[in-house]
């Protein structure tokens, strides 16, 4: 990665230093995640115009006015000290019990920000001292945010006699919530937690879920299934926005799984699997709808350029996730998934 890319990303992170991780009514700040995505897509020329568009809606951190963030500032300071002493991989492991079980909180945004921050720091080994400081600081903020917004979904223990279910079978067997196709008001995370918590079989099915033994293959399977839900599920047009978070969330889980020891990566896949099943019952009616058909005639490369030109935070983050998934899912499949959002922006 050339120095100009590092400079653009780090200048952006510096501009965000004093800001809250949220804006509006508990909406997650996507800006640091988008900066890393643009850096990774070698589109750092879009960082400055993106910030011009985005900064006016963000706010400075004010713990008194944002009680929902709890001990966020304290956690940022603690994580920052530990990152300086131990390094990113060890701190991700040490903090795993705090953020991983509740990874669905804030519509996966704690997890997603954490994955972007981990990527950014991992690529900064040969960067300047200031660059390393900014990226450690961002990882500390991401860890703190993932912890304060963690929300553990209702769980049960599977009995030894319970039949095990593969992911596709579990997705097919789950009945949607009665509200799955009802208009959602309020936050995604609020609707997800309530609808999942009220579902009669979700916890049992999640406990019976059997993923591939290899944790990274399990996480790749979850990412593939998230794209399947986006492309082949019945949901409200409004919830296209909701369901793209399943894709970026599962991509984030895979990113973090690569940075964790095998045991923790396997646990992460279990938590992510439960969360994906929750998204299915909370927001998707029929699945699958029928024979899969191409959604767009545009190439992935064209859609990627449209995503970048839009300066839309969700389009850019989805494009970055699908760009990583092309080898696994294929160009056409990733183009179809990206088109679901880009062709609306």
The CB-based long-range contact list for 65-70 (8 Å cut-off, 24+ gap) reads 66/20, 66/22, 68/22, 68/26, 68/148, 69/20, 69/21, 69/22, 69/148, 70/148
What pLDDT, in 10s, does the model give residues 172-193?
Answer: 999 999 999 999 889 999 999 9
Handedness of CA 236, 241, 247, 252 (dihedral sign): negative
pLDDT, residue 36, reads 97
**For the chain, domain boundaries:** 3-148, 167-283, 300-342
What pLDDT, in 10s, does the model give residues 137-175?
Answer: 999 999 999 999 999 998 877 666 668 999 999 999 999
In this predicted structure, the answer to whether residue 70 has a pLDDT above a threshold of 80 is yes
In this predicted structure, the answer to whether residue 197 has a pLDDT above a threshold of 90 is yes
Instruction: Give the three-class secondary structure for 133.
Output: helix
What pLDDT, in 10s, does the model give residues 16-34?
Answer: 999 999 999 999 999 999 9
pLDDT, residue 156, reads 77
DSSP H or E stretch at residue 89: helix 88-94
What pLDDT, in 10s, does the model give residues 90-128?
Answer: 999 999 999 999 999 999 999 999 999 999 999 886 668
In this predicted structure, the answer to whether residue 3 has a pLDDT above a threshold of 70 is no
Nearest to 277 by CA among 181, 168, 182, 179: 168
Contact (Cβ atoms closer than 8 angstroms) between residue 282 and residue 181:
no
In this predicted structure, the answer to whether residue 82 has a pLDDT above a threshold of 70 is yes
Instruction: Decide which of 6 and 26 is more confident.
Output: 26
Mean pLDDT on 262-266: 98
34-43, 110-119, 283-292, 298-307: range with lowest mean pLDDT = 283-292
The 3-state secondary structure of 34-59 reads HHHHHHHCCCHHHHHHHHHHHHHHCC
Mean pLDDT on 227-252: 96
Contact (Cβ atoms closer than 8 angstroms) between residue 188 and residue 245:
yes
1: confidence class by pLDDT, cuts 50, 70, 90: very low
CB atoms within 10 A of CB 258: 15
Contact (Cβ atoms closer than 8 angstroms) between residue 331 and residue 300:
yes
Instruction: Give the three-class secondary structure for 155.
Output: coil
């Amino acid at each position: 990665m050339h120095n100009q890319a590092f400079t653009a990303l780090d200048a952006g992170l510096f501009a965000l230093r004093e800001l809250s991780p949220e804006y509006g009514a508990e909406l997650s700040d996507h800006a640091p995640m988008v900066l890393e995505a643009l850096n990774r897509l070698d589109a750092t020329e879009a960082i400055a115009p993106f910030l011009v568009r985005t900064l006016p809606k963000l706010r400075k951190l004010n713990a008194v006015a944002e009680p929902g963030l709890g001990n966020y500032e304290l956690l940022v300071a603690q994580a920052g000290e530990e990152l300086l002493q131990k390094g990113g991989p060890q701190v991700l492991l040490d903090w795993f019990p705090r953020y991983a079980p509740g990874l669905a909180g804030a519509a996966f945004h704690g997890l997603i920000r954490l994955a972007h921050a981990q990527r950014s720091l991992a690529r900064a080994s040969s960067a300047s001292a200031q660059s390393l400081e900014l990226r450690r600081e961002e990882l500390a903020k991401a860890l703190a945010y993932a912890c304060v917004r963690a929300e553990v979904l209702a769980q049960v223990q599977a009995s030894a006699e319970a039949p095990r279910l593969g992911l596709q079978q579990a997705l097919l067997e789950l009945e949607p919530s009665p509200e799955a196709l009802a208009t959602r008001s309020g936050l995604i995370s609020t609707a997800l937690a309530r609808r999942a918590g009220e579902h009669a079989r979700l916890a049992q099915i999640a406990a019976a879920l059997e993923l591939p033994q290899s944790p990274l293959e399990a996480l790749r399977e979850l990412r593939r299934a998230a794209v399947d839900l986006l492309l082949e599920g019945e949901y409200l047009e409004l919830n296209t926005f909701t369901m793209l978070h399943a894709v970026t969330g599962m991509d984030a889980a895979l990113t973090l799984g690569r940075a964790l020891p095998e045991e923790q990566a396997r646990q992460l896949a279990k938590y992510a699997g439960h969360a994906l099943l929750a998204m299915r019952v909370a927001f998707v009616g029929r699945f699958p709808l029928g024979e899969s058909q191409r959604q767009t005639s545009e190439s992935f490369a064209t859609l990627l350029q449209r995503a970048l030109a839009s300066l839309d935070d969700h389009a850019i983050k989805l494009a970055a996730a699908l760009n990583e998934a092309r080898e696994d899912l294929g160009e056409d499949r990733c183009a179809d998934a990206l088109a679901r959002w880009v062709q609306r922006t």
